[in-house]
């Protein structure tokens, strides 16, 4: 029946080009297309039910007869402007029968919400289920051949090629770059605000900082995001693309509107604009590498090219472009969020701030940190881990093969979404103070040893965990150490920070703070850190700056809490 409908549709379309009875045939074509769609959905549903094993998952109410869970989510996210992960916490709190495994009916797909640590272990580590097709919406800014979404054989080859650029040995050598860029931030952005008492949107500045850092260590390019003239064209193209994509992702019931011709053309135009910047850099680097016979810059891209050459492998232009787009996106966005939330929490806790200042002064003695210093900043490391626990930047999604069960529930062919936010705040795993920022918990060896292996997973778990987690931790510690070596910060937002959704999670208010010289508050540091001018300069000239950054739109959410 479905096949006949499609064949009829093709005949109607062929007849329409003759412009004879266009209206009549348009109606017939629409009806035929609708019949084909409905028939395929019925057949697909019947096929799934025939292969289903295990009991059905609980579903939150109310459930619309046609749109399933979409009206419920749209009301919660739209009316209260909450992050979807906070909505999930609210649903579990309000209906205890849902437990930590339930399903959202989203018309085209069933999405299983996995908030149970043992179930996460089965999904990510025991079976290592494939990445979900829902990542396709990220292709515009991570590429279609990204290591984030590649199938297992392709992923293994890509991971082998890029592992050298994320090794501890290479990243140790990049700590001076982290320090130089942070000192530039202090001098150009924070020092003027400390002098005039103005407010800094810390997350905006941290985003420019981390983008500058990843561009430097991945491509040996200095884009000058922190320069007085503002960020370069690459940043504005990137920001526009993410903002547009996030608008659709925040309203799944309107996702279809992106395929309207005018929206589609605009979206593709933004993607092409961003791709042109990245591809131009890679083409130039490939040409330089060929001409210099592998003696070019030893950055993440250069090490990957050298590894492939040594192994007799080859990454095509699309693969290289996809990986670099992924690293530019994930390598700056999530780290900026971690740094921002860490400052927010430390600013609200004077006792924690005092411990951070004492350790920074004791370990660094007034100089910029090196790789050995980062290992000695143990309390600061606890602060970073606690920031990642309370404010994880993203979750992960997998898909199960037909006939699969999870803890006795049928999950065959269903998308599984693992939201880290509710897991990281679950009192069953973290105790009664699960929602409290307490870095000291990470100093308790018995407490940490007793944690479930999937109770803490800001970088996911299993073989496909984040390739950049060591980079993120080393970069965050370097930045925070230098931020607190010179200044302290006071949160001046009118309401507590909360997660907002913008593809990944980020601080809703962008962490507005005032900047204070430590001497002014009686917290005088030891001698000033090494000036930025003493750190080696970038190997390439800065890209001309473009327009100044602007805050991205954010969802409003109440201060998150667990039951």
DSSP 234-282: HHHHHHHHHHHHHHHHT-GGGGGGGGSHHHHHHHHHHHHHHHHHHHHHH
The pairing of strands 499-502 and 487-491 is unpaired
Q: CA–CA separation, 54 vs 52, rounded Å?
A: 7
**Each residue's pLDDT tens digit, 153-181:** 999 999 999 999 999 999 999 999 999 99
Q: Where residue 197 falls among pLDDT bands split at 50, 70, 90?
A: very high
Q: Where residue 560 falls among pLDDT bands split at 50, 70, 90?
A: very low
Annotated binding site, which residues? 466
The pairing of strands 109-114 and 415-418 is parallel
pLDDT mean over 84-111: 93
DSSP secondary structure, 312-353, as one string: T----HHHHHHHHHHHHHHHHHHHHHHHHHHHHHHHT-HHHH
Q: Where residue 139 falls among pLDDT bands split at 50, 70, 90?
A: confident
Residue 65 pLDDT greater than 70, yes or no: yes
Structure tokens at 436: 């409290």
| Contact by Cβ (8 Å): 331, 214 | yes
This prediction has a pTM of 0.84
Residue 511 pLDDT greater than 90, yes or no: yes
| Contact by Cβ (8 Å): 186, 482 | yes
Q: Where residue 294 falls among pLDDT bands split at 50, 70, 90?
A: low
Least confident piece of the model among 220-234, 313-327, 483-497: 220-234
Q: Where residue 14 falls among pLDDT bands split at 50, 70, 90?
A: very low
Give the pLDDT of residue 188.
94
How buried is 6 (Cβ within 10 angstroms: 0-12 exposed, 13-18 middle, 19+ buried)? middle
DSSP secondary structure, 379-419, as one string: HHHHHHHHHHHHS-S--EEEEPPTT-EETTEE-TT-EEEE-
**Per mean pLDDT, which of 37-46, 140-149, 249-258, 453-462 is the most reliable?**
453-462
Q: CA–CA separation, 300 vs 505, rounded Å?
A: 26
Higher pLDDT, 485 or 136: 485
Residue 230: asked if its preceding bond is cis (omega within 30°), the reply is no
Under DSSP, the state recorded for 188 is I
Give the pLDDT of residue 34.
66
Give the pLDDT of residue 313.
77
Least confident piece of the model among 18-22, 192-196, 240-244, 507-511: 18-22
**Each residue's pLDDT tens digit, 512-542:** 999 999 998 888 765 545 544 444 444 433 3
Residue 497 pLDDT greater than 50, yes or no: yes
Percent of the chain with pLDDT over 70: 81
Q: Where residue 115 falls among pLDDT bands split at 50, 70, 90?
A: very high
Q: Where residue 551 falls among pLDDT bands split at 50, 70, 90?
A: very low
Place of tokens 């991205």: 552
Q: Where residue 562 falls among pLDDT bands split at 50, 70, 90?
A: very low
pLDDT mean over 329-333: 84
Helix (H, G, I), strand (E, B) or coil at 135: helix
Least confident piece of the model among 38-42, 86-90, 185-189, 427-431: 38-42
- Mean pLDDT score of the chain: 84
Q: Where are the domains of the chain?
A: 1-51, 152-534
CATH 1.10.630.10 for domain 152-534, yes or no, is yes
Q: Of 371, 394, 361, whose CA–CA distance to 475 is shortest? A: 371
Distant-in-sequence, close-in-space partners of 315: CB < 8 Å, separation ≥ 6: 158, 161, 304, 305, 308, 323
Strand partners, 110: 105
| Contact by Cβ (8 Å): 164, 170 | yes
| Contact by Cβ (8 Å): 476, 384 | yes
User: How many other CB atoms are there within 10 angstroms of residue 192's CB atom?
Assistant: 12
Q: CA–CA separation, 12 vs 9, rounded Å?
A: 5
Q: Where residue 140 falls among pLDDT bands split at 50, 70, 90?
A: confident
Higher pLDDT, 233 or 146: 146
pLDDT mean over 288-308: 83
Higher pLDDT, 401 or 224: 401
Helix (H, G, I), strand (E, B) or coil at 111: strand
**Each residue's pLDDT tens digit, 429-449:** 999 999 999 999 999 999 999
Higher pLDDT, 409 or 222: 409
pLDDT mean over 451-467: 96
Residue 18 pLDDT greater than 60, yes or no: no
Give the pLDDT of residue 40.
58
Annotated binding site for heme, which residues? 466
Q: Where residue 36 falls among pLDDT bands split at 50, 70, 90?
A: low
């Amino acid at each position: 029946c479905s096949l006949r409908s499609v064949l009829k549709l093709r005949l109607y379309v062929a007849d329409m080009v003759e412009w004879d009875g266009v209206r009549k045939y348009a109606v017939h074509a629409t009806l035929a297309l609708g019949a084909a769609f409905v028939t395929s959905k019925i057949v697909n549903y019947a096929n799934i039910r025939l292969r289903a094993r295990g009991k059905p998952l609980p579903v939150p109410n109310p459930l619309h007869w046609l749109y399933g869970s979409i009206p419920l989510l749209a009301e919660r996210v739209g009316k209260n402007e909450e992050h979807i992960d906070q909505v999930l916490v609210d649903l579990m709190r309000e209906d205890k029968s849902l437990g930590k495994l339930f399903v959202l009916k989203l018309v085209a797909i069933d999405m299983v919400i996995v908030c149970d640590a043992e179930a996460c272990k089965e999904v990510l580590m025991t079976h290592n289920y494939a990445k979900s097709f829902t990542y396709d919406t990220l292709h515009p800014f991570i590429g279609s051949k990204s290591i984030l979404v590649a199938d297992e054989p392709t992923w293994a080859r890509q991971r082998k090629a890029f592992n050298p650029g994320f090794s501890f040995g290479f990243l140790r050598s990049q700590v001076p770059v982290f320090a130089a860029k942070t000192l530039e931030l202090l001098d150009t952005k924070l020092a003027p605000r400390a002098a005039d008492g103005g407010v800094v949107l810390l997350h905006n500045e941290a985003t420019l900082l981390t983008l500058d850092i990843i561009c430097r260590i991945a491509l040996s390019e200095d884009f000058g995001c922190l320069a007085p003239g503002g960020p370069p064209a690459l940043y504005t193209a990137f920001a526009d693309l993410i903002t547009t994509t996030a608008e659709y992702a925040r309203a799944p019931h309107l996702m279809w509107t992106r395929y309207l011709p005018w929206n589609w053309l605009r979206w593709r135009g933004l993607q092409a604009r961003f791709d042109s910047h990245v591809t131009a850099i890679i083409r130039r680097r490939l040409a330089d590498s060929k001409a210099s016979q592998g003696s070019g810059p030893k950055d993440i891209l250069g090490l990957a090219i050298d590894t492939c050459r040594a192994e007799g492998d080859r990454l095509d232009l699309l693969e290289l472009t996809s990986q670099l787009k992924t690293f530019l996106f994930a390598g700056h966005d999530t780290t900026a969020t971690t740094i921002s939330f860490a400052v927010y929490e430390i600013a609200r806790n004077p006792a924690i701030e005092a411990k951070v200042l004492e350790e920074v002064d004791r370990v660094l003695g007034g100089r910029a940190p090196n790789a050995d210093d980062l290992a000695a900043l143990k309390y600061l490391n606890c602060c970073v881990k606690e920031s990642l626990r309370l404010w994880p930047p993203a979750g992960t999604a997998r898909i199960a093969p037909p006939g699969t069960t999870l803890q006795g529930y049928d999950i065959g062919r269903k998308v599984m979404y693992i939201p880290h936010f509710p897991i990281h705040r679950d009192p069953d795993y973290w105790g009664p103070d699960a929602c409290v920022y307490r870095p000291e918990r990470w100093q308790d060896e018995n407490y940490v040893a007793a944690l479930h292996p999937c109770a803490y997973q800001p970088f996911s778990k299993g073989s496909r965990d984040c390739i950049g987690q060591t980079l993120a931790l080393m970069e965050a510690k370097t930045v925070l150490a230098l931020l607190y070596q010179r200044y302290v910060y006071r949160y001046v937002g009118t309401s507590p920070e909360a997660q907002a959704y913008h593809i990944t999670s980020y601080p809703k208010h962008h962490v507005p703070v005032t900047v204070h010289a430590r001497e002014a508050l009686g917290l005088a540091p030891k001698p000033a850190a090494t000036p930025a001018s003493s750190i080696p300069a970038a190997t390439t000239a800065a890209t001309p700056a473009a327009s100044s950054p602007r805050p991205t739109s954010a969802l409003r959410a109440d201060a998150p809490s667990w039951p």
